[in-house]
Amino acid sequence: MRSREPGLRSFFVVGLMGVLALAGCRGDRSDSEATTVDGSVTISGDDAVVAELNWTPPPVVIAEDGDADALAQARAALDADDLYATSTSAIPLYLALARRPDSADAALSGLRQARTRLLALGAQALVEADTLDSIAGLRAAHDFAAVARYLDAGDADVVRYLERVDVSDRLWELNRGAERALQAGELGEAGGGALALFREAATLRPGQPRALQGMAAVESAMIRRAEVAADAADYSGGTRWLAHAATIRPGFPTVSDAGQRLERMREAHIRRLRDEGVDALGGINGVVVARERLAQIIGIARTGDPVVSDLRQRIDRAVHYGDFRPGQVFTDALEGGARGPQVVVLPHGGFMMGALPGDRDAADNESPRHAVRFERGFAMGVREVSVGEFRRFVDATGYQSRAVRRGFSLAYDERTGNFLRRSNVDWRSDYVGRPAGDTMPVLHVSAKDAQAYVDWLSTQSGRRYRLPSEAEFEYAFRNGTAERYPWGEGTPPDGAGNMTGALDRSPGGRAWGNAFPDYEDGYWGPAPVGSFEPNTWGVHDLAGNVSEWMADCWHATYRRAPGDGSAWVNPGCRDQVIRGGSWASSPAQTRTSWRALAQVDTTNARLGFRVVREL
């Protein structure tokens, strides 16, 4: 016979499926729902529990000769868990049959089985109520309790079940009261409130999910108040709220993580104020604004924060040396009336240096990705140093480059497509060893040759010239982007620079075996400096033309690399960093994070340099 208790069996099936599906999360509360989101609790519906445990059997009419049919009907109802709801349910039928002599024994046996099943279903309902916070489960448990109490209030199993119902009632009321207190903002940081009620519930039923989640919600609400305080620059208040939150679930990382977030908020706030102060220094009344930002930093920073002294120093420097602005292009006068290389002022700021996560072409030496911040702008050569510029240095000093002294360098061989050692090739030569024009990038120069040139510039101008650090180069190369290539992914846009394109052809008809698809720049070999459009910061040919010497000694990874953008130098190092793609570099070697090493005496047809001028 089909059960007359609609939804009773499906209620438990859905509940048990919910346990599996939610894996410990809060379940469907049926008539009532209480949810916690970001430290708040929303309660809806009627979550009151009807406490009366009274049940009256439905009237049953059995024909005078109908005992056997009634017993069969009761058995079928019992098997279907149709226990008490209607006159055709198992318990009402057995109660009626127990008063008939011919069926009393069978009826009493059926009642004992029905009571056992009733208590089992009641236990399931309590599990549903306690673990999935189901008010429908608790009400069902009450219904089962009322019937069990009617059947045998003094039975030990019934008494134990009724006691369990009492505990579940108390647990429900504690949680409900705690959630309402939480919703009203009564967290209980000074005692009482939501926290005390949730703790009592957790003590009453250790491990009860609703109480544990409630305590987590109180913790979350306190953390949120700490963050609100930090948003208002009240970091002391935020710390006090975190101290309250730390008492709720000792050992959980939530509060310590929040403390780190608050410290990052404080540090970010300090950095933002610092950056605003530094940015203001170049404008009208900039020193006044910077000093206001300094006062704000002092109000929120911890004692001894180095940013305070740093900004003080910057304000002092700006009063005397605030002559440049980002994007400004200039040259320095040299002795004898000549001018130095054209340089452009790059803005101060920060970026993430190194290979992007998931870059399939990245080598281990491009990691770990790390933050670099330039606390002061610098001026970088607008173009690579040209043959003509290097010639002025040689003419003025009589300097003999490495290739001149040893009598050879590596030049491109059209016949084989390789770079071969060729005699009488030096800085005056182009990529195949022929005489180079003055507008071509200087090639066949070693790191020591490049250093000699910048030292001469420094002496001639009275300013500090040097090779770029690789952090400065990558910063300028990226020019505010965070991609594998400055233009993003894939083939460069037309005119992006002198790089290996699949459509390029050598004078003898050679094509590149590894090149950007569908790209052509019109050159096989270096182009005159500045032949292509500059990047958004005004710097030419960082992605191509020639690779360039950096000031840094080679290190196999970025572990312990400077975070201020300075060159990472070891005295007497024999290998230095080269950066930037060349006219003969693969696409992977044209990426913003690509780097390689070369011995300091290396000279070849792909390697040149540019200068940096300190401000």
Q: How many residues does the chain have?
A: 615
Q: Cα–Cα distance between 100 and 61 in angstroms, integer?
A: 12
Residue 26 pLDDT level (bands cut at 50, 70, 90)? very low
Q: Which fold would CATH assign to domain 343-613? A: paralog of FGE (formylglycine-generating enzyme) (3.90.1580)
Mean pLDDT throughout 139-152? 94
Q: pLDDT tens across 475-523, in order?
A: 999 999 999 999 999 999 999 999 999 999 999 999 999 999 999 999 9
3-state secondary structure of 379: strand
Residue 52 pLDDT level (bands cut at 50, 70, 90)? low
Phi-psi region of 548 (alpha: psi -120 to 50; beta: other; left: phi over 0): beta
Adjacent-strand bridge partners of 69: none
The greatest distance separating any two alpha carbons of the chain, rounded to the nearest whole angstrom, comes to: 133
Q: Cα–Cα distance between 28 and 136 in angstroms, integer?
A: 9
Contact predicate 501/516, CB 8 Å: yes
pTM as predicted = 0.53
Mean pLDDT of the chain: 89
Comparing 156-170, 322-336, 540-554, the range with the smallest average pLDDT is: 322-336
**Sheet bearing 343-346, strands edge to edge:** 329-330, 343-346, 378-381, 612-613, 465-466
Asked whether residue 5 carries a pLDDT value surpassing 80, the answer given is: no
pLDDT of residue 412: 97
Q: Cα–Cα distance between 422 and 604 in angstroms, integer?
A: 10
Residue 542 CB neighbour total at 10 angstroms = 26
Mean pLDDT throughout 306-325? 78
Helix (H) or strand (E) holding 461: helix 447-461
- Residue of 48, 47, 42 whose CA lies nearest to 32: 47
Q: pLDDT tens across 188-218, in order?
A: 998 999 999 999 999 998 988 999 999 999 9
pLDDT of residue 313: 83
Q: Cα–Cα distance between 33 and 29 in angstroms, integer?
A: 5
Mean pLDDT throughout 12-20? 30
Specify the domain boundaries for CATH 3.90.1580.10 within the chain: 343-613
State percent of the chain over pLDDT 70: 91
Asked whether residue 2 carries a pLDDT value surpassing 60, the answer given is: no
**Tokens encoding 175:** 């949680």
Q: pLDDT tens across 445-454, in order?
A: 999 999 999 9
pLDDT of residue 47: 54
Q: Cα–Cα distance between 246 and 252 in angstroms, integer?
A: 9
**Tokens encoding 326:** 């980002």
Q: In whole angstroms, how far apart are CA 430 and each of 187, 296, 544?
A: 77, 57, 16
Q: Cα–Cα distance between 157 and 146 in angstroms, integer?
A: 14
